[in-house]
Structures are given as structure tokens and as C-alpha cells.
Amino acid sequence: MKKNLLYVALLVFLLVTGCDKALERYPLDSPSADTFYTNDTEIQGGVNACYSFIVAGNNGYFVPEFSYDALAETVFIRGGGFAQNVMMSVLDFKEGQFRTFWLNMYQGIARCNLMLQKIDANKAALTADKIKQYQGEIYFLRANYYLRLTNMFGDVVYLDKPVSSVADGKAVTRTARAEVLKKIYADFDQSYALLTGSTVKTLGRITAGAAMAYKARAALQNNDWATAAAAAKTVIDSKQYSLMPKYSTLFTETILNSAANTEQILTNMHLYSANNATAFPQFTSARSVSGGYTTIVPTQNMMDSYQCTDGKDISKSPLYNKTKPYDNRDPRLRYCFVVPGDMWNGYVYETRMDKTTTLNDQGASVKNLDSYAATVYTSFTGYLVRKYYDFKYVAKLTQCETPFMLCRYAEVLLTYAEAKIELNQLDADCLNAINLVRGRSDVNMPLVSVALSQSDMRNLVRYERKIELWNENLRWDDLLRWKRAEVIMTRPIFGRPLLGEYSVYPAVTFDSYGDPVYDETNYVGSPSTDYRVLIRTNFNKSRDYLWPIPETELNLNPGLGQNPGW
Amino acid sequence: MELFNCTKNVKFNLYHILTIATNQYTVFGGVLNPGYAPVNYALNDITWESTSMIDFGTDLSFLGGKLDVSFDWYKKQTDNILLNMAIPGVMGYANSPKQNAGSVENKGYDITISHNNTIGKFYYKVTGILSDVKNQITDLGGLAPQVSGTHVRQVGSPIDSYYGLLADGLFSSFTEARAYPVTQYGKLQGGDIRYKDLDADNKITGSDRAVLGNLIPRYVYSLDLYTSYKGFDFSMFFQGVGKRDSYDSGWDAYPFQNASTALVQHLDRWYEGNPNPNATHPRLSINQQSNNLQSSSFWLVNAAYLRLKNIQLGYTIPVRLLKNTGISGVRVYANGNNVFTVSKMPVGMDPESPESTNNYVPLLSTYTFGVEVKF
């Protein structure tokens, strides 16, 4: 009895004394921000997490990594409500996706700012090399996030320190885009300086070359030609990069995963076991692939944009044959698209409604699973994406580990050429940059030996950006900065006709910038043979060059102000 | 005493502290790399909600227990109510952390009346219940209305009220639509929804939204009947809601979306042969019709209903007939569940289901016949 009393007394004592601080502790199941990031392992992990938003995030069908171009006329997403609503100019500030982008970018920025602060506070725990490496990566990422933000929203809130309270978060104001651009340049320059000489070359990590290439991109996207030309020249002169000999194999895993890929400047890698595989094959697979959605497809507008091998558009080239429309075209067409008649997934690919049977790879006639008669969900345009597509994933469509290049040397060459053209410096360096891209061994488009007029050169480099960089997430920003969106985004987006032969369709014409023009009355008239109108676009030029400040943000902080017209 | 004090000291920051997520992986060189980042912002100065309540209640019994009446009226004021509220995006978090967002008032009553009686061999019991609650946000700490999709939180309205544009019928013709001086969403045609331009700026935008209704049920009632006569017993249970709104969306509302199908309610749509400005559905379209998909009163549906939830008729065989059989009781019965519903909900939506479950399997009616045998 005495013993029991003792135990009871002890228990009470423990409970009572244990009480005071017991509930004031930090949770034990996950680390707390206050006590974390004090050693190299933790800081390294913090820097890694700054990469999380390098692709703007998965918004349902609108997955910017491989279809940001679907905002433009070159790629179409079936069921991509947000992209289509942008194209029709029917959204207003209450659309939630605008905030998703805003949040993604600011999450990236906040992580960068936090890690810069933590690195400063824990310098003693890191070697000098590590400090340089980490800071170099972070400065790049922060600049990249601000670049994306300014492209979407114009003037944005610029922060280089963590925001510590909700009250502070509500008190911020926007900084002029031009001022933010200076900070972006400064960050890329710092990144370049810190990473120059770094021995870290792991695929996916930021390098000095990437920092300078992105600085060139940032300058180009802001029509700052001199800065763009200088930054691109630095990359070219570094001799770190060169074009791969073949476009046709450049977007295959063999090349993408290889250290011998001299063209990649920044690559985004995916790993199923890291829970960040993509569903790219699911969106792009033919309907004959079990589970394939065929939602992301190339458009007819893009198809018609590929010149013939003589460098002339299909309205002018004698090489264009309406009955064999895919022959004699810029070879990049066939490297990027699957076209009717191609052997694909073991079948001769064809979507036409009247082609209910097709041949398989054994030469036998079988049911055509890609025919519109078999499924209304077959490619709305009649074409499929070949670029980056890998049959390795047909049985695991959402487990794709194909790396995507976020920046490659061809872009830098074209940036350099465009900047030089806009500066009217049509010299040998400028021609050489374009010729390298056009002269790739399996592209082999006519070279430019003597400079054309500035406007012809401009059209040429714009053609190259559209064709060479198709579906690499640059088209939409190009249309905005060229102020071409107000023209191109008022033309309908077409798919291939459901029935009939090309030869019965009216000839396409081209505007003075080399983009196809469709007078709708010529292309839409008789339902059985019409070009298929996928979407009637619209663009409000006094509003749509910028996106609205998201409603929730404005409600929390009216001081942000709204963009014009929204 | 000490222990009690300790409990009182439990602060939310124990559970609402900014923690580091360790799953922010990245891949470099084909290899998984760990990534650590704070992902869920938490306010560590939040406190408990506090509630004050006034309740008048009475239970009365009359006629020697044959009539029972109970009545409650209450007013409940909850302050420092904890809601997930958005924080500025520039802080770098995508979550909406719990905050002491303001005050909410709930006013309501419950009435139960029950009567039972025996007249010879006839017994009956009737129970009716009626209850109502009126919910209202009375304070939101000075915050602007918090809009989330079709819902809003704002002072003066019930929590998460429906919020959207006010529909003003359909355009009855192409000419009328194109002549409409107010800019809506995209190019308009006959059969598109017309919206009220509340701020009179000749433009329909988010600024023209208003509170449309809410999904908190009002006037919830039920009626339970039970009678027995000799071996027979009979019961019915009705339930219903007098006033509630719901919102129609998805395949149920929009036919042929992304090549989906059409439902019977889509027959009453605007088309040239039926240019009815009050049709229940706008014109058909295989494309996304942004104008007609806006959150608006057009898609609000009346979710009031009356349902015969259960009905049962039984007969118990007199015990004397079971003598020497070894069986102590036999009852045969017929039972029906969800026998009928009076409601204005479109096909595919059930008034008892939560919002946005209108693509689910509909509620089933079941009929059972049975024999209960007791040994």
C-alpha cells in the first residue's frame, strides 16, 4: 500500500512538473523552420527545393513544361479550358488559374529569399565553394521566377527578403517592370559570376552558361537587343556548347540523358520514384495506345507554317504538292509531328472518319482505332506530337521520365541573331548564327550567304524560332513581345479536315510576317470537307498583353492595383 | 489545479507551427535529391474560438403523456472563428492557414411535437419535428469578401454563400444578342445567358457578382407516423427541407462537354425552334461556352424537397396459431426506402447529396419483402 502511494505520488509529480514546457516544444515529426537549415545537408536540401517551380506547375491539362505553347496558335489542347479561354479572351480577373501562376512563382521566390538568408546566417557551416555554388543557383532561380512573373503580369511585387508576417504581406506594392528587369539582370550576372569555374556539372543543375543564356532570354523577351546580343555572345564565345548534329534524335532519351548532349543548357529531369514523373505520353499518345488521351496536338496552323525545302512557304514553292502535302517540307516537320500515313504504334496512322480500317505493321488490314469513326476523341487536328515522344512509356503513360530541355544552344543562337537583326547589325556573326541552326545535318534548309533586308532577316529568324523551337514554351512570349498576338490570336485555330483530300482545299496564303492567314469564308463552308475549326480566337489588345492581378491578391491588398482593362 | 492550468495553456502554435516539408524532391543527373522547404504557412498567434449561447427551452407534456411538445430557441455567437483564409501570395505559400477570422451568428429553433393514443385496438403515434437555423457572418476582421470559386465569405451573408453573376434570361435571338450593348464573355448568340450589369459600366466582369443563395438548409422537417391494429403495423417516415440552394455544374448542367452526353433536362434548351428566353438551358455548343459557364444564378437550383424516406407494413401472426410449432413469433412485412421525392432538382442531382456530386450514382429506391421468424 505504501509502495502504491509512492507510485501515485511519483506519477502526479511527473505530470505536474512535465507540464510547463511540455506543450511549448517544437513538433517532433517534422523539422521547424526556426531550427532548420543550420548545416550543409539541410541547406543543400533547401537549395534543391528552390527548383520546385522551375516549370510553372501542373494545372490540370495546362502543363506549361510541354504545352505553354498551347496558349498560342501552334499547339492545341482538347479540354484545356484555361488555355482556350485565354485564347478566346473570355476570362476576367476572377479566374483562379491566374493566382495559381502567381502563387507558384512567389513560392519559388520566397524559397530563394529564405535560403539566401539562411546561407548568410550559417556561413561557418559551409565551405567557400559550397556558398558560391548555392548562391549561384539561387540567384538564377529567383531571376527566372521574376522573369516569368513579369512576362505574365508586367509590374510585380519585388522582394529580396522573406516576408515575415501577413500584415507585411498585405502592405507590399508593385515595382515597375523595367526596374524588376534590372534586378533580374543583376541576379543572372551574380549567378554567372558565382558559378563560373564551378565543377558541378550534374545534369539539371544551374551552370554559369545557363545563367548567361537566361539573361539573353530575359533581355530578348523585353526587347532589350543590346543586352540580349551581348549575353548571347558570351555564351557563344564560351565555346561550352554546340549544336548536336541531328535534330531528329535530339529529343530522345538517349541523347537527353547523355553527357555528350552538347546542346543542352538547362534540363529538367524527371524520376517516377521521386514522385515527379510527367504524364506527357498520356496527353500526346494516339488513341490506339491504350489510355492515351490525344489531348495535346499540333495544329493545322503550325503544319502550314513549315516551308518547303527550298525555303519558300507552301503558297509559293513549286515543291509543294497538294496531294502529297508532307513531302519536300522543312524536315523538322516530320521530326516534330506524326502525320497521316506514318507507321505509328504498330499501325498506319490516319484519323479520317471514312478510314475505318488501316494496316498494321504486319501489313494486315485491321480496325483503325485512330479513326474519328472509332472515337471522337482522336486527334482533333489529325496530327500527333512526335517531338519528345517515347514508346517506352506506352504501358505507363503517367510515369514518364523523359528529361525536357528548358534551354538549349539553338535558342541562344537565334536570340543572338534576332538581337543583331533588330540592332541592324547584319554581319557575318549574325548570318552564321542562323545558318548553324538551318544547316544542321538533318535539317539542311537553304543558308543565307548574303544578308537580306532587315525585315526579311526578321521574318527569317522569327520563322526559325517558330519551327526550331516548336512546343518549347517560347512561342506565347514571342507573340506578346512582337505584338503579333493581336493579329495571330484573332485567326481561327484549325485542325485537318475530317474527310476528303488536301487537294480540294483552298490554298493557304501568308501575311508579310510569314504566318498563315485563313480567310474563314474560304475554309468553312461545307461541313463534310471543311477545315475543322478548333477554336475561334480573340485578343483584346488593350488588355490581353498582361494578365490580371489575381482577385484574391487584390482583395487582400488593394494597393497592388489592377492591370489596364481588367 | 496545475494539470488544469496546463490544458488551458495549450496554444495552437503546437500544431500550427511553420514546419519544413521534407518531400520537395528534385532530380539531378537522374538521381533523386532531397528537398526541404516550408510549404504550409501557419499563424502562431491564433486562439480558441469562443462561443456564447442563449437558449430558451421547454418540454411540456399534456393529456397524461399523450401529447409532448418541446421547443428550443437559441442564439449562438461564435467569436474568433477559425477559418482557412487566404494569405498574400507574395509570402510564398499556397495554403490558406487557419485564422481567427471573425464572428458568426447562428440563430434557430427546434420544435418537436409528438402525439400518441390508443383507441380500442388501434394505436398510433405521430412525431413532427421542425428546426431552422439562420447563419450569418457578423464580422470578418475588416477583410474584403473572400471569394473561392462559386462561394463567398462576406459580412452579412451566411458562410460560403453562393456568389456569382445575376442571370437575366437568355437572348432570344442572334440579333438581340449582337445588339446588346454590354460586353459579356466572347461573341454572343441567341440562347446565351444575359447578365445584369450591376455596376453599370457596360461590361460584365467579376465586379457584377452578388450573393445568390446558400446551401445551408432552412426549415428542416420530418414526420414520423406509426400505427398498429391487431396484428398489423404500419409506419411512414417523411423528411424534407423547406429552403436550400444548390448549384448545377459539370455534365449534368452542360451537355456534350468535352464530347460527353446529354441528359433529359437538356431538351428544354434554347434553339431556333424554341427561342424561349426562359428555357432552363442555354443553346447547345460543342465548344466551351465561357459566357454560359460563368458562376451565375442561372445554374442555381432549388434544393427544397419532401421525401418519403421509409414506409413499412407488417403483419404479426397471432401467437396462438403457432402453438406446438416451436416457433415463437412470425412477422411478414413489406418495406420501401426512398419511395418518392418531391423536388425541383434536375435529373442527376439529389437534394440529400452534397453539392458537386451530380456525376455520381443516383440515390436508389429499395423495396424489400420479408418474413421474420423467431424461435
Q: CA-CA distance, B82 to B45, in Å (whole number)?
A: 12
Whether B37 sits inside 8 A of A49 (CB atoms) is: yes
Instruction: Identify all chain B residues contacting A550, using CB atoms and an 8 Å cutoff.
Output: 89
Q: CB-CB: which of B22, B31, B259 is closest to A30?
A: B22
Q: Where are the alpha helices (DSSP H) in A222-299?
A: 225-237, 253-256, 280-284
Does A19 contact B36 at a Cβ distance shorter than 8 Å?
no
Closest approach of chain A CAs to the CA of B282, in angstroms?
17
Interatomic CA distance for residues A389 and A63, integer angstroms: 16
Residue A12 pLDDT:
46
* DSSP tally for chain A: helices H, then strands E: 21, 14
Any chain B CB within 8 A of the CB of A437? no
Enter the ipTM. Answer: 0.88
For testing contact with chain A, the best of B18, B91, B96 (most A CBs within 10 A):
B91
Mean pLDDT of A154-174: 95
The pLDDT tens digits of the residues spanning A23-46 come to 445 555 567 777 899 999 999 999
Cβ of A52 within 8 Å of Cβ of B15? The answer is: no
pLDDT tier at A19 (50, 70, 90 boundaries)? very low
Residue A83 is placed in which grid cell?
Answer: 488555355
- Chains A, B: CB pairs < 8 Å: 200
**Cβ-Cβ contacts under 8 Å, A376 against chain B:** 259
d(Cα A278, Cα A82) in Å, to the nearest integer?
A: 19
In the three-class reduction of DSSP (H, G, I as helix; E, B as strand; rest coil), residue A99 is classed as helix
Rg, Å, chain B Cα set: 28
Residues 6+ apart with CB under 8 A from B55: B72, B73, B74, B75
Nearest CA-CA distance, residue B52 and chain A, Å = 27
Q: Three-state SS string across A179-190, please?
A: HHHHHHHHHHHH
Compute the distance between CA of residue A438 and CA of residue A416 in angstroms, rounded to an integer. Answer: 14
Among chain A residues, CA nearest to B295: A94
Question: Is A117 in contact with A111 (CB distance < 8 Å)?
Answer: no
Q: Which residues sit opposite B61 in a β-bridge?
A: B68
Identify the residue among A19, A489, A544, A556 best suited for mutation to test binding to B, counting B beta carbons within 10 A and taking the highest.
A556
- Comparing CB atoms, the residue among B89, B93, B149 nearest residue A553 is B89
How do residues A361-375 score in pLDDT, each as one tens digit? 999 999 999 998 899
Give the pLDDT score at B59: 94
Residue A124 has pLDDT above 50, yes or no: yes
A525, with CB counted inside 10 A (0-12, 13-18, 19+), is exposed
Phi, then psi, of A230 in degrees rounded to 5: -65, -45
CA angle in degrees (0–180, nearest 5) for A304-A309-A311: 75
Contact B2 A32 (CB under 8 A): no
Segments in A126-176 forming alpha helices (H): 128-153, 166-170
Beta-carbon separation of A27 and B15 below 8 A:
yes
Q: Of B20, B35, B290, which has the smallest distance from its Cβ to A88's Cβ?
A: B290
User: CA angle A552-A555-A556, nearest 5°?
Assistant: 85
Mutate to test the interface with B, among A271, A294, A543 (most CBs of B within 10 A): A271
Single-letter residue type at B225: L
**Among A residues 308-367, those touching chain B with beta carbons less than 8 Å apart:** none
Residues of chain B with pLDDT under 50: 1-15
User: With a CB-CB cutoff of 8 Å, which residues 78-117 of chain A face chain B?
Assistant: 78-79, 81, 84-85, 88-94, 96, 99, 102-104, 106-111, 113-114
Helix axes A40-49, A128-153, angle to 10 degrees: 20
| Helix (H) or strand (E) segment spanning residue B340 | strand B329-343
Number of residues that make up chain A: 566
Closest listed residue to residue A410, CA positions, set A242, A245, A205: A242
Helix or strand (DSSP H, E) at B374: strand B366-374
Q: Give which of A172, A537, A552 to mutate to test B binding, by max B Cβ within 10 Å.
A: A552
Q: Does A75 touch chain B (CB under 8 A)?
A: no
Contact A15/B at CB under 8 A: yes
How far A133 CA sits from the closest chain B CA (Å)? 15
Mean pLDDT value of segment A251-275: 92
CA distance A519 to chain B (A): 18
Beta strand pairing call for B305-316 and B232-243: antiparallel
pLDDT in tens, A303-339: 999 999 999 999 999 999 988 999 999 999 999 999 9
**Percentage with pLDDT > 70 across chain B:** 92
Asked if the model's pLDDT at residue A468 lies above 90, the reply is yes
Report the relative pairing of strands A404-408 and A264-268 from DSSP bridges: antiparallel
CB contact under 8 A, A377 and B10: no
Task: Report the alpha-carbon distance of residue A262 to residue A409 in Å, rounded.
Answer: 8
Å from A386 to nearest chain B CA?
23
Residues A392-415: what's their mean pLDDT?
95
pLDDT at A145: 96
Phi, psi of A371 (to 5 degrees): -70, 145
Q: Is A197 left (phi over 0), alpha (psi -120 to 50) or beta?
A: left
Q: How far is B180 from chain A (nearest CA, A)?
A: 17
Locus of grid cell 522547404 = B37
The answer to whether B67 and B114 have CB atoms below 8 angstroms apart is: yes
Span B5-15, pLDDT tens digits = 222 233 444 44
Calculate the average pLDDT of chain A: 90
For B39, the closest chain A residue by CA position comes to: A107
Condensed to tens digits (0 to 9), the pLDDT of residues A224-237 reads 999 999 999 999 99
Binned at pLDDT 50, 70 and 90, residue A5 comes out as low
Look at strands A365-367 and B161-165 and give their pairing.
Answer: unpaired
Q: Which residues contact A416 (CB under 8 A, 6 or more apart)?
A: A216, A228, A229, A232, A233, A236, A429, A430, A433
pLDDT tens digits, one per residue of A422-457: 999 999 999 999 999 999 999 999 999 988 999 999
Predicted local distance difference test score (pLDDT) of residue A169:
95
Rounded distance between C-alpha atoms, residue A270 and residue B29, angstroms:
10
Identify the helix (H) or strand (E) that includes residue B52.
Answer: strand B50-62
**CA–CA dist A99, A106 (Å, integer):** 10
DSSP code of residue B221? E
**B24–A49 CB contact, under 8 Å:** yes
Question: How buried is A361 (Cβ within 10 angstroms: 0-12 exposed, 13-18 middle, 19+ buried)?
Answer: exposed
- Say if A28 is an interface residue toward chain B (CB within 8 Å): no
Q: CA-to-CA distance for A555 and A564, rounded, in angstroms? A: 17
Rounded distance, CA A311 to CA A302, Å?
Answer: 16
pLDDT value of residue A268: 92
Q: Distance from B34 to chain A by nearest Cα, in Å? A: 5
**Could you please report the per-residue DSSP string of B69-122?**
EEEEEEEEEEEEEEEE----GGGS--S--EEEEEEEEEEEEEEEEEEEEEETTE
Q: State how far residue B289 is from chain A, nearest Cα, in angstroms.
A: 9
Q: Are the C-beta atoms of A162 and A119 separated by less than 8 Å?
A: no
CB spacing of B288 vs A81 below 8 angstroms: yes
According to DSSP, the β-strands at B26-28 and A365-367 are: unpaired
Beta-ladder partners of B104: B78, B137
Instruction: Indicate whether A81 pLDDT > 50.
Output: yes
Residues of B in contact with A110 (CB under 8 A): 90-93
Q: Classify residue A307 by its DSSP letter.
A: P
Nearest-CA distance from A338 to chain B in Å?
23
Task: Test A45 with B146 for CB contact under 8 angstroms.
Answer: no
Chain B residues inside the 8 Å CB shell of A11: none
pLDDT of A520 > 70? The answer is no
Q: Where are the domains of chain A?
A: 270-402+497-530
Work out the minimum CA distance from A367 to partner chain B, whole angstroms: 22
Among the partner residues B2, B35, B88, nearest to A45 by beta-carbon distance: B35
User: What's the rounded mean pLDDT across residues A528-552?
Assistant: 87
Q: What is the pLDDT of residues A100-109, one digit of tens each?
A: 889 999 999 9
Mutation target to probe the B interface, by most B beta carbons within 10 A, among A163, A283, A372 is A163
Which of B32, B35, B145 has its CB closest to that of A49?
A: B35
Q: Which residues contact B7 (CB under 8 A, 6 or more apart)?
A: none
Q: What angle do the packed helices A40-49 and A96-121 form, to 10 degrees?
A: 160
Among A15, A104, A106, A380, most B C-beta atoms within 10 A, so best to mutate, is A106
CA distances from B31 to A265, A430, A487, A525, B21 (A): 18, 39, 45, 55, 20
B89 closest CB neighbour out of A92, A106, A275 = A106
C-alpha cell at position A557:
491588398
> pLDDT-derived band of residue A536, with 50, 70 and 90 as boundaries?
confident
Q: Give the 3-state secondary structure percentages of chain A, helix then strand then coil, rounded to 5.
A: 45, 10, 45
Question: What are residue A289's phi and psi, to 5 degrees?
Answer: -85, 125
Judged by CB atoms closer than 8 Å, whether chains meet at A555 and B19 is answered as no
| pLDDT number for residue B3 | 29
CB contact under 8 A, B29 and A535: no
Cα angle: A247, vertex A252, A256; to 5 degrees: 95
Chain A nearest CA to B37, separation (Å): 6
- What share of chain A in percent tops pLDDT 90? 74
Q: Cell match 477554336: residue?
A: A535
A2 burial type by CB count under 10 A (0-12 exposed, 13-18 middle, 19+ buried): exposed
